[in-house]
DNA sequence: GCTTTTTGCTTCGAATTTGAAGCATGTGAG
DNA sequence: CTCACATGCTTCAAATTCGAAGCAAAAAGC
């Protein structure tokens, strides 16, 4: 565990796996702590959960209204969970759900002015908090590297075959993976 | 500070904040995706949730039994949630709860052989998955840097004053923070 | 044109999570 | 010693989450 050993040595001290595991675990631990803190802050600041904040952020940055599926795909979230949260946000007057002209079954989710206001209300504190918790101990270079790394990781995982949120995306052609849930 | 000095003189293109925000969001998004995938895998492989896996891992790596509080503090988790999960794990025969000789109110949580077996059963696949999802697009150097960065972040946040899980840590003397839950 | 399949979303029930409240033990001050 | 408070854990009700099932619209096949 405490095997720091100046990494510059490039020696084959370890099969890399332990360091990978350590990085993996500390990554999840740190993010978990961060999420918790952020959740508390958002609740206190604007009485919304982090998921709701994410939804508002997605809608805010999108050029126009989004469908439920686009939202659920952006935020990692189950469809039913999104329906629930959208219900809450709509009841709170932060978003509106309406029919989509192109696709009769789709639901167009639109950010209301109140939603935009709320987002603007909580964003500064959110930024401040994330800076204090996450970026305080990091150099500008670290930030760049971190962003670069996680962007690659995200794109890699997004490109990966089947995501949990889309178990029905079974196309007619999936020739290479017949075995499933092998005991 | 790790002064890599690569993007040193590339100009003050942005006030850094946007890049920070981007790094922050992509970090949470990537981890979210990763967690989802891991969750699916653990469920299929050993019929446990990620939280339960974390608990087993903590117990496995600890020199001896841990108390509930130590577990809840390690894993970011509410006390009551931990009680619930410990109940499940105990019912499944993976851990044992017993009294602590030092402290009558504390509960000593011990990993059973079955728990150890299960951990060993799921660990290889877990490692394989994390490597495929997280480390595939990363160089060894990236892994080192990521581990380094996140370790610093974690330690920083652990050192930060009040954590969510400990709202009761109000001492008699708290001179600097009279305001609370300000509306 | 009509059936079959896929897609978008919601409803439903079960599982999980949380914060507040409660209980019992430890700790320190007087 | 005794009281007040802190700590460790659990119970409880309420909120959130997920997956499966269901329904309507669209796309594909024939």
pLDDT bracket for residue A180 (50, 70, 90): very low
Looking at residue A17, its pLDDT comes to 77
pLDDT bracket for residue A141 (50, 70, 90): very high
The token pair at B77 is 């988790």
> Is B84 (CB) below 7 Å from strand C?
yes
Length of chain B: 183
Inter-chain residue contact A141 with B6, CB threshold 8 Å: yes
State the smallest CA–CA distance between residue A67 and chain B in angstroms.
Answer: 19
Inter-chain residue contact A149 with B144, CB threshold 8 Å: no
Of B24, B142, B147, the CB nearest to A130: B24
Of B36, B130, B158, the CB nearest to A164: B36
Q: Does B166 touch chain A (CB under 8 A)?
A: no
d(CA B77, CA A36): 9
> Is A58 (CB) below 7 Å from strand C?
no
> Is A97 (CB) below 7 Å from strand C?
yes
Higher-confidence position of A179 and A81: A81
Of A30, A127, A156, the CB nearest to B150: A30
State the smallest CA–CA distance between residue A151 and chain B in angstroms.
Answer: 6
Cα angle: B76, vertex B81, B85; to 5 degrees: 100
A31 closest CA partner among B50, B172, B14: B50
Task: Determine the distance between B106 (CA) and D12 (C1') in angstroms.
Answer: 21
Closest-CA residue of chain B to A160 = B133
B78 closest CA partner among B171, B156, B151, B167: B167
d(CA A45, CA A118): 10
pLDDT digits (tens, 9 = 90+) for A66-101: 999 999 888 888 999 999 999 999 999 999 999 999
Mutation choice for A interface testing from B146, B152, B182 by most A CBs within 10 A: B146
The DSSP result for A116-180, as a single string, is HHHHHHHHHHHHHHHIIIIITT--HHHHHHHHHHHHHHHHHHHHSS--TT-TT---S--TT----
pLDDT digits (tens, 9 = 90+) for A4-62: 444 444 545 567 678 888 899 999 999 999 999 999 899 988 999 999 999 999 999 99
Chain centroid to CA B82: how far?
14
A 61-120 residues inside an 8 A Cβ radius of B: 75-76
A 9-68 residues inside an 8 A Cβ radius of B: 16-17, 19-37, 39-40, 44, 57
Q: Does the pLDDT at position A160 exceed 90?
A: no
State the smallest CA–CA distance between residue B16 and chain A in angstroms.
Answer: 8
What strand order describes the sheet that includes A95-99?
A66-67, A107-111, A95-99
Looking at residue A95, its pLDDT comes to 97
Closest-CA residue of chain A to B134 = A153
The token pair at A68 is 């439920």
Length of chain A: 183
Q: Which domains does chain B have, with CATH numbers?
A: 17-157 (1.10.10.10)
According to DSSP, the residues that pair with B19 across neighbouring strands are none
The token pair at A174 is 């999936």
Chain centroid to CA A36: how far?
14
> Is A91 (CB) below 7 Å from strand C?
no
The list of chain B residues with pLDDT below 70 reads 1-16, 161-183
d(CA B72, CA A54): 26
DSSP character for A9? Answer: G
Inter-chain residue contact B146 with A23, CB threshold 8 Å: yes
B8: helix, coil or strand?
coil
Chain centroid to CA B121: how far?
21
d(CA B141, CA A2): 18
């Amino acid at each position: 565990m405490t095997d720091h050993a100046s990494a510059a040595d490039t020696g084959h001290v370890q099969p890399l796996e332990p360091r990978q595991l350590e990085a993996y675990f500390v990554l999840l631990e740190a993010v978990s702590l961060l999420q918790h803190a952020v959740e508390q802050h958002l609740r206190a600041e604007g009485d919304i959960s982090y998921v709701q904040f994410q939804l508002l952020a997605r809608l805010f940055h999108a050029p126009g209204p989004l469908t439920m599926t686009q939202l659920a795909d952006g935020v990692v979230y189950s469809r039913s969970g999104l329906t629930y949260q959208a219900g809450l946000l709509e009841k709170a007057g932060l978003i509106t759900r309406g029919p989509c002209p192109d696709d009769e079954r789709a639901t167009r989710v639109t950010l209301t002015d109140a939603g935009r206001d709320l987002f603007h209300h909580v964003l500064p504190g959110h930024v401040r908090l994330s800076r204090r918790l996450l970026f305080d101990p990091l150099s500008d270079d670290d930030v760049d590297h971190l962003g670069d790394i996680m962007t690659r990781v995200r794109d890699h995982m997004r490109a990966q075959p089947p995501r949990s949120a889309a178990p029905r995306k079974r196309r007619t052609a999936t020739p290479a993976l017949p075995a499933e849930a092998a005991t």
